[in-house]
Amino acid sequence: MKNLLLQAISFYPLKISIVSLNQLIFFLFVLNLAGCVSQEPTPIQITEPIPVTASQDEGLKNEIVRLEKMIAEKDELIKSQQMRQQSQAQVLREVNKEATRTQVKLHRLATKPSTASAIAEIEVALEHLKQVKISAADQILQIQVQHLVETASIFYEKDQYAQAMNHISQAKHLISLITNSDRKRTSIENNSLLVFHTPIKLRAKVNVNLRKEPNTRSPILATLKKGAPLTANAGLGLWLRVQTEGNQGWILSTSLEIEE
């Protein structure tokens, strides 16, 4: 490096002393050394993870075990409830089957005297209803009772006593609905669908909603205007299943009246 510097200085007309040259070399050496030191890479600091103590680890394990046990208990409870509901549904189906078999058996054993007595009993009940004031909704059921008695009498004349008793049984059920003062507080689940053997012609007393199912939260199929004609073909509690020109749905019987 000293020779190179001497050659470079020789090009200049000025004369540089050896002392000055040595000082220049020393100064360049120091600068080079300082540059090397400044270019050294900065060491990367590595953050060590916070160690988990044995007590904390054990607490987490215990919490996991507790949650898993809770989930297992909930699953077991749900399974138990489902099995109980299935068992109750099975018992109810068996009871309904037995009741149906018993009713069929009684109808088969029906005789002329018993059928005549049942018809006479319903006729007396109808005469009593005519003497008391009943609601428009109950008047609809009363008309259906009258149709059932008339049909039962026709079957009786043909010696078809089982068919006659079937109609009389439905007539008795309708009369019990009319005379039951607690019927308005009876839930839909406690009632049974009653299909009318003879459809009843009715009309709307007011603007009324035709619903898909027999409850006030069911979707509305259409809105019928006051005086709109319709035909009832079944009943469920206070609800009537009616047929209009383009739809079939459910309407509260209190919103209907008999078409005269």
DSSP character string of 127-180 = HHHHTS---HHHHHHHHHHHHHHHHHHHHHHTT-HHHHHHHHHHHHHHHHHHH-
42 three-state secondary structure: coil
Q: Which residue has the higher pLDDT, 174 or 187?
A: 174
Query: Higher-confidence residue: 71 or 59?
Result: 71
Tokens of 136: 């428009």
Residue 167's pLDDT is 85
Give pLDDT, residue 21.
54
From residue 228, alpha-carbon distances to 72, 96, 208, 231, 246 in Å are 58, 38, 9, 10, 12
Which of 42-51, 52-61, 220-229 has the highest average model confidence (pLDDT)? Answer: 220-229
Q: 132 vs 96, which has greater pLDDT? A: 132
Domains 82-180 and 186-260 share a fold: no
Domain 82-180: top CATH class: mainly alpha
Place of tokens 């099975």: 90
pTM above the 0.85 mark? no
Output the pLDDT for position 16: 45
Q: What is the pLDDT of residue 187?
A: 46
Strand partners, 115: none
* Rounded-to-integer distance, Cα 165 and Cα 107, Å: 6
Higher per-residue confidence, 239 vs 40? 239
First CA to last CA distance, the chain: 130
Q: Which residue has the tokens 């209907």?
A: 256
pLDDT in tens, 202-251: 889 899 999 999 988 999 999 999 999 999 888 887 888 999 888 899 99
Q: How far apart are CA 219 and CA 217, in angstroms?
A: 7
> How much is the pLDDT for 224?
92
Q: Which CATH number fits domain 186-260: 3.40.50.150, 1.20.1090.10, 1.10.260.40, 2.30.30.40?
A: 2.30.30.40
Interhelix angle 136-157/161-179, nearest 10 degrees = 160
CA-to-CA dists, residue 125 to 81, 160, 170, 209, angstroms: 45, 23, 14, 33
Residue pLDDT, tens place only, 99-155: 666 666 655 556 888 888 889 998 998 888 888 888 777 787 888 888 889 989 999
Mean pLDDT of the chain: 76
Q: What is the pLDDT of residue 31?
A: 55
C-alpha 121 chain-centroid distance: 44
Average pLDDT over residues 62-78: 86
Q: Is residue 14 very low, low, confident or very high in pLDDT (cuts 50, 70, 90)?
A: very low
Q: Taking the domains of the chain in order of start, what are their residue ranges?
A: 82-180, 186-260
pLDDT at 51 over 70: no
Q: What is the mean pLDDT of residues 14-42?
A: 53
DSSP line for 76-120: HHHHHHHHHHHHHHHHHHHHHHHHHHHHHHHHHT--HHHHHHHHH
Report helix, strand or coil for 203: strand
Q: Where does the pLDDT of residue 62 fall: very low under 50, low under 70, confident under 90, or very high at 90 and above?
A: confident
Q: Is the dihedral of CA 105, 111, 116, 121 positive or negative?
A: negative
Q: What is the pLDDT of residue 7?
A: 52
- Measured CA to CA in angstroms, residue 128 lies from 28, 41, 120, 146, 178 at distances of 132, 112, 13, 13, 12
Instruction: Say if strands 248-252 and 194-204 run parallel, antiparallel, or are unpaired.
Output: unpaired
Query: Are the CB atoms for 141 and 177 separated by under 8 Å?
Result: yes
